[in-house]
Amino acid sequence: MKQRIYDSKRAEVVDFVPISAGQVGMYVCGPTVQSAPHVGHLRSALVYDQIRRWFTRSGSDVTLIRNVTDIDDKILDNAATAQEEGSSEQWWALAYRVEREFTAAYDALNILPPTYEPRATANIASMIRIIETLIERGHAYQALDGSASVYFDTKSWPTYGELTKQSLDNMEDAGDSEPVGKRDARDFALWKAHRESEPVTASWQSPWGRGRPGWHIECSAMSTNYLGENFDIHGGGLDLRFPHHENELAQSAAAGHAFANYWIHNGLVNVSGQKMSKSLGNSLFAHDLLSSARPIVLRYFLGSAHYRSVLEFHETALEEAASAFGRIESFLDRAIRALEVDAETLDSLPENFISAMQEDFAIPQALAVLHDTVRLGNAALDGSDDARAVEALANVLGMLNVLGINPLAAEWASAEAGGAQSALDKLVSELIADRSRARANKDFETGDAIRDRLAAAGITIEDGAEGTHWSTNG
């Protein structure tokens, strides 16, 4: 069976045929590093991690490029607002700090790093070259008001709107800049003239004058820079289809690039039935989610819906995910103890799991196979059918590896160990505090009892001038 994929441009599920057999080139729109990552960012990055892992498991060599937009109106606005409130942080420092927050959140969820992660600010020259090509071809023009701004001429490109099936006459005006200097309000910015109110460090010299790139040209340049003028897959969130991806496609095609053969868009996240937004105050930030559930459970939940579907987050969502994942872990623990096997040597995939993944990465169906296999494995253990139990265990481990949620894998084992150490430190510190209060109240019997309880658990405490310290024996 061939790999099937929903192509957003064609609006149908089609056979995926890579440009080069055994190789897949993917470009994914990464974050605009203006503020802390939220659940939508995590969900999107995880979707493409799952797809990448499946292509890799299927035998393909995957090149995944995920960009960082580190120059943008919102970054400059947020830095300016912070400076008005007394911050000394420059826009580029804010962007880098937030980028590190994204990376930390991705790492916590075991999202593999991309093959390369280009920053917009490092690819300005490539953007200028594309803009020059568009002007030469008659698809872009310098602002009519004489400024350094350059706009894409939407009327010059007959197929503009093909990605989102819109006609130019029905489109909203481009909201990325003031209409002054445009031939048409729907024309979008390729290059933005430097403003006196913005720091000069946020501008570059160009043939049209000092300025900075528009958002859309950034991804056209970075994708083709690292994957070539024709590559396999372009991905991103559903909210990026228009205007971002529509504009990317138009300007790239107008520049003579074949660009992406397939377009993938992941669904968004609803919180208690409502679209997540700042105005509703229901944003779920990565640091809060990561502190409210084990990262492996959070990954299980965020990756549980079909990638094109809306992911519904509700009050008990993480508890339900923890319960479901707990059943998988219980089977692993039971099977490994009963069968006395080396789990690292077991890794296979059942046919119905493969079929689900080949049919447009149908994760809900794949997870159903996973849980069915857990039930079969437990039944085999109950019936002392070791052969069937080993087969089930191998299949479960294989599926968990593909989905990136094998708790026995080294990356999760070390993370879980760190979590266990943190929990132990909290518990022991609380007992030491209870002991200190008891001793301060001359209740030496209670203090000695706490010390003995800790000693029985293999924990030694030492009282010193700087307080009480503890360590594990051995």
- Point out the domain boundary residue: 209, 238, 266: 266
457 and 366 both lie in a single domain: no
Rounded Cα gap, residues 8 and 366, in angstroms:
22
Q: What is the DSSP letter of 343?
A: G
259 and 284 both lie in a single domain: no
188 and 133 both lie in a single domain: yes
| pLDDT of the residue at 473 | 53
| pLDDT of the residue at 428 | 76
Closest CA to 263 of 118, 161, 164: 164
Rounded Cα gap, residues 218 and 296, in angstroms:
33
97 and 230 both lie in a single domain: yes
Cis peptide before 114 (omega within 30 of 0): no
116 and 182 both lie in a single domain: yes
CATH of the domain at 134: 3.40.50.620
| pLDDT of the residue at 425 | 60
Would you state the structure tokens that stand for residue 402, as one six-digit string? Answer: 């593909």
Residue 48 near residue 64, CB atoms below 8 Å: yes
- Residues across the chain: 474
Q: How far is CA 413 from CA 104, 107, 120, 408, in A?
A: 17, 14, 35, 6
Strand partners, 14: 5
64 and 181 both lie in a single domain: yes
| pLDDT of the residue at 472 | 63
**Residue whose tokens read 């150490």:** 421
Collapsing DSSP states into helix, strand and coil, what is residue 457?
Answer: coil
Q: How do 12-15 and 4-7 pair as beta strands?
A: antiparallel
Q: How do 61-66 and 23-28 pair as beta strands?
A: parallel
- Point out the domain boundary residue: 266, 290, 323: 266
Helix (H), strand (E) counts: the chain: 14, 15
Closest CA to 172 of 148, 9, 10, 164: 164
Task: Name the phi and psi angles at 314, rounded to 5.
Answer: -135, 180
Closest CA to 116 of 41, 71, 64, 70: 64
- Point out the domain boundary residue: 235, 250, 266: 266
32 and 151 both lie in a single domain: yes
Residue range of the domain that includes 29: 4-266
| pLDDT of the residue at 248 | 97
| pLDDT of the residue at 437 | 87
Rounded Cα gap, residues 251 and 186, in angstroms:
14
Residue 403 near residue 50, CB atoms below 8 Å: yes
386 and 324 both lie in a single domain: yes
| pLDDT of the residue at 221 | 97
Would you state the structure tokens that stand for residue 143, as one six-digit string? Answer: 């602002």
Collapsing DSSP states into helix, strand and coil, what is residue 188?
Answer: strand
Residue 180 near residue 142, CB atoms below 8 Å: no
| pLDDT of the residue at 458 | 77
**Residue whose tokens read 């969900």:** 43
Rounded Cα gap, residues 345 and 349, in angstroms:
14
Which residues, given as ranges, of the chain have pLDDT below 50? 418, 466, 474
422 and 389 both lie in a single domain: no
Residue 98 near residue 35, CB atoms below 8 Å: yes
| pLDDT of the residue at 416 | 60
**DSSP assignment of 369-416:** HHHHHHHHHHHHHHTT-HHHHHHHHHHHHHHHHHHT--TTSHHHHHHH
Residue 38 near residue 286, CB atoms below 8 Å: yes
Rounded Cα gap, residues 178 and 176, in angstroms:
7
Q: How many domains does the chain have?
A: 3
| pLDDT of the residue at 418 | 47
- What is the biggest distance separating any 2 CA atoms in the chain, rounded to whole angstroms? 89
330 and 314 both lie in a single domain: yes
Closest CA to 362 of 45, 38, 13: 13
Rounded Cα gap, residues 259 and 187, in angstroms:
21
Which residues lie below 8 Å from residue 437, measured CB to CB, with a gap of 6+?
A: none
Would you state the structure tokens that stand for residue 206, as one six-digit string? Answer: 């160009």
Rounded Cα gap, residues 353 and 356, in angstroms:
5
Residue 89, class by beta-carbon neighbours within 10 Å (0-12 exposed, 13-18 middle, 19+ buried)?
A: middle
Strand partners, 13: 6
Task: Name the phi and psi angles at 205, rounded to 5.
Answer: -80, 145
128 and 152 both lie in a single domain: yes
**Residue whose tokens read 């109240």:** 441
Which residues lie below 8 Å from residue 103, measured CB to CB, with a gap of 6+?
A: none
Strand partners, 212: 192
260 and 295 both lie in a single domain: no
Task: Name the phi and psi angles at 195, rounded to 5.
Answer: -105, 145
| pLDDT of the residue at 413 | 75
| pLDDT of the residue at 387 | 95
| pLDDT of the residue at 130 | 98
| pLDDT of the residue at 11 | 97
